[in-house]
Amino acid sequence: MTVSKAEPLPTQTDEDWRYVDCRALAAPASGVLSPIPGEAAAAADFPAAIDATHAWALAGTLRRMRLAGSVDLGIEDRGGAWALRLDCAPGAQVRVRLSRLASADRNASWLHATVGQGASLIVEDAGDGGVQLAALSATVAQDGSATLRVTQHGGPLQRHRLELSLDGTGASGAMAVTADPRAEHQAHVLTRVIHAVGGTTSRQLIKAVLRDRARTSFDGLVTMLKGADGSTAEQRNHNLVLSPLARADTRPQLDIRADEVQASHGATIGALDAEELLYLRARGLPDSNARELLTEAFLAEALP
């Protein structure tokens, strides 16, 4: 997929954008240049773009890093368009902390990692502001692991596309996302997990709290390919709606092409428990404090 100024923006007629109010994408592309580390890279160093986020990110600053041993990498995303490839050597222990301070315009980024045999990768992505389109993806080799943790604080539009391909026996992947949009902000999560071989495991936990006129969505798909016998996958999405004007959409999906696997998925959309509120208020907590305490407890399960 390529996106140019002459081509139309994504709309809700596009399957992967079906829940997104795409009008915010009309914001001009940010001209900010974020200080992304690494050596110069080319678009050919990344997988083929299959999403508008990928295409927009590849039109910006492109970097590549080769990492070995124990690495703790901090990246400040000030906005703009950029893509970074991380090659994690066998046995490497890599932690990436993405701090988002995006500009008010449209921003797009893509972090793609290859996780070598026995290596581990943890990506922690947090921040807010502007129209923030982010893609995080990784391929994981034998006995490797990749964990993607995202915190969406809100903005006119935040959308994260998270992808894991578990390509070696013993590979594992995890995704944890918390969203707390307010006002008329949007927070969207699209996940894709592929179990390419047997003996792989994945876990997804996506939680959102909706206030005011906020809007969230979860669109997740776990695919277990033929031959992925003995693999395990869990996919959960839970939404706490605190306003009658807020909206949550959810679509958990499984595509099972292998035998003898364990796979589960589920989603909930609900309000605060009245009995739990009564319990806290009976012990002297004001209503607003009781509600906030229950909300924090709801999100805590998905936080590190």
Same domain, 32 and 176: yes
217-273: pLDDT as tens digits? 999 999 999 999 999 999 999 999 999 999 999 999 999 999 899 999 999 999 888
Same domain, 223 and 287: no
- The pLDDT of residue 5 is 47
Within a domain: 284: yes
Same domain, 59 and 201: yes
103-136: pLDDT as tens digits? 788 999 999 999 999 999 999 999 777 899 999 9
Same domain, 291 and 145: no
Within a domain: 3: no
- What's CA 218's distance to the chain center, in Å? 10
- The pLDDT of residue 233 is 98
Task: Write the secondary structure of the chain as one string of H (helix), E (strand) and C (coil).
Answer: CCCCCCCCCCCCCCHHHCCCCHHHHHCCECCCCCCCCCEECCHHHCCCCCCHHHHHHHCCEEEEEEECCEEEEEEEECCCEEEEEEEECCCCEEEEEEEEECCCCEEEEEEEEEECCCCEEEEEEEEECCEEEEEEEEEECCCCEEEEEEEECCCCEEEEEEEEEECCCCCEEEEEEEECCCCCCEEEEEEEEEECCCCCEEEEEEEEEECCCCEEEEEEEEEECCCCCCCEEEEEEEEEECCCCCEEEEEEEEEECCCCCEEEEEEEEECCCHHHHHHHHHCCCCHHHHHHHHHHHHHHCCCC
Question: How far apart (Å, rounded) are the C-alpha atoms in residues 161 and 255?
Answer: 18
Beta bridge partners of 150: 125, 177
Within a domain: 289: yes
166-202: pLDDT as tens digits? 999 999 999 999 999 999 999 999 999 999 999 999 9
Within a domain: 128: yes
Within a domain: 256: yes
Q: Return the ∠ at Cα 200 (arms to 111 and 177), rounded to 5°.
A: 45
Same domain, 187 and 281: no
Mean pLDDT of the chain: 93
Same domain, 93 and 152: yes
Whether residue 279 has pLDDT greater than 90: no
Whether residue 1 has pLDDT greater than 50: no
Same domain, 156 and 282: no
Same domain, 203 and 228: yes
Within a domain: 9: no
Same domain, 265 and 234: yes
Q: Could you give the percent of the chain with pLDDT greater than 70? A: 98
Quote the domain boundaries for residue 297: 274-304
Same domain, 179 and 57: yes
Q: How many domains does the chain have?
A: 2
Within a domain: 281: yes
Same domain, 262 and 304: no
- The pLDDT of residue 286 is 86
Same domain, 292 and 173: no
- The pLDDT of residue 285 is 84
Residue 20 is encoded by which pair of tokens? 């997104």
Within a domain: 91: yes
